[in-house]
Chain A
Amino acid sequence: MKVKEIIEILEAEVICGEDLSEKEVHTACGSDMMSDVLAYVKDQAVLLSGLVNNQVVRTAEMMDMKCIVFVRGKKPDESMIELANASDMVLLSTKKPMFTACGLLYSHGLRGGNG
């Protein structure tokens, strides 16, 4: 699915990287624990998280992820947006909670991958 479909499905607000919304993504993971993302995730392009700090963007950067969705209406701050822009990453914010956001994306064909 394309990033722009994620935006539609989750009724998400685009925080930055709107010009990258045509990017294709196939797998995602949902976690508030960055330690686990770094340890267990492989080749996932989308990170859903309710945690909001610079290290969420840094973690996604190290994992070569393309898009972060902040759930429960969480919003990243300026320094996170700066980091994301430097790594060509899309930041989205949805009001939906983690479980619902993951379920909606899964039911539209996004998968968890091998992580």
Chain B
Amino acid sequence: MSNSVKLHYDVSGEDFTRAGEASGNIKKVLKEIGCDADLIRNVSIATYEAEINMVIHANGGVVDVDIFPDHIDIVLADQGPGIKDVELAMKEGYSTAPDNVRSLGFGAGMGLPNIKKYADEMKIETEVGVGTTIRLKFYIK
């Protein structure tokens, strides 16, 4: 377990234009390591969606990445408002994003379902008023 590559990012909730910096960096590292292109894309899309969610809904948060020889763990944790109804939030097309976010090209209600689609495993821990933690696992084939 000690030979994993660890990455940590603080995601600012202040500036929407900077959303995606963490995901972009993770993508760069995976490329440098020489990961398979499909895996890199899956990780990139899932992490980017989660990072966007963090900025839109939770005023930022932290992203921790652990790269092992056979899998990648990514934990995205925020101290935002939490998700009231996870089952509903997982439905395609359901969104609580405000209109100004839609004008930026997001908030179609595809974020969480899309994260689930691209990650091999996804766990959501959330509590209203406390925050949300999303745990993602990707297998390296």
Q: Residues of A at under 8 Å CB distance from B?
A: 32-36, 38-39, 51, 53-56, 58-59, 61-64, 79, 83
Contacts and interface: CB of A to CB of B under 8 A. Distances in A.
A33 B44 contact: no
B41 interface: yes
Main secondary structure of the interface of A (DSSP, over half): helix
Interface in B5-48: 16-20, 23-24, 27, 37, 41, 44-45, 48
Contact of A38 (B16, B19, B45): B45
A34 B105 contact: yes
Interface residues of B, number: 27
Contacts, number: 72
Contact of B17 (A35, A53, A62, A64): A53
Contact of B105 (A39, A55, A63): A55
A39 B20 contact: no
A51 B101 CA distance: 12
Contacts of A56: 105
A61 B19 CA distance: 13
B19 A62 contact: no
B72 interface: no
